[in-house]
Amino acid sequence: MTKTIINVDIEALNAEFEALGFQERISRLYEYFPVDRVLFTSSFGTKSVVMLTLVSRGNARQKVHMLNTGYHFPETLAYKDTLSEITGLEVVEIHPEKDRHEQTVAAEMWESQPSRCCHYNKVLPLKAVKEEHTVWMSGVHSYQTMNRAAMRIFEEVEGLIHFHPLIDITEGEFLFHLEKDKLPRHPLEAKGYGSIGCHHCTRPGQGRAGRWAGKDKDECGLHV
């Protein structure tokens, strides 16, 4: 499938969608873009369940892509299966290229070159999938990192429209949705994990403090 270039007014979309609630934003997206042109990704981490629930209500035909790096906690993979069953969304796993992944294993790259490890196992595998879509929808929150604090609902990056419908959600609003809908939490939250990625680079900690602890890094490279 070749990428379709669609001319859109990003500023007009931001002005329209800023006034909408989170569910309305996701539902209205499909008035502008067909579901097969929308790439939705999820890490199935501690902040994923609210976004997955809203997307399932907005368009049940939306597939959710997960980057299976080969380094996930078993609890994350089990949580993925649980949330797929609850939401009814079809999960499509994206795997890294075998040789590059094996390089990261052999060199224990997560210790010496964590950014390259992320690049091989996350950034490069997703790149080919992004090229098949017009919109990339993800559930990032502005309070998570300084990089994300500068994001808007819609942005255009290298010809791809990025859609962040929950970018301005507060931690209080997130917890409200969790409690209101009685949504299941990631099983590692009870063990003190505030944010969860690959097991080599994730430790217990509040917020994202446990991600790449001790390293000058707070993003895997997907959302930079």
Residue 18 Cα to chain centre, angstroms:
20
Q: How far apart are CA 166 and CA 205, in angstroms?
A: 23
> 3-state class of 92 per DSSP?
strand
Other Cβ atoms less than 10 A from the Cβ of 49: the count is 25
Q: How far apart are CA 183 and CA 94, in angstroms?
A: 25
Q: How far apart are CA 183 and CA 69, in angstroms?
A: 26
* Polymer length of the chain: 224
Q: How far apart are CA 216 and CA 150, in angstroms?
A: 19
Q: Are 51 and 187 in contact (CB under 8 A)?
A: no
Active site residues: 220
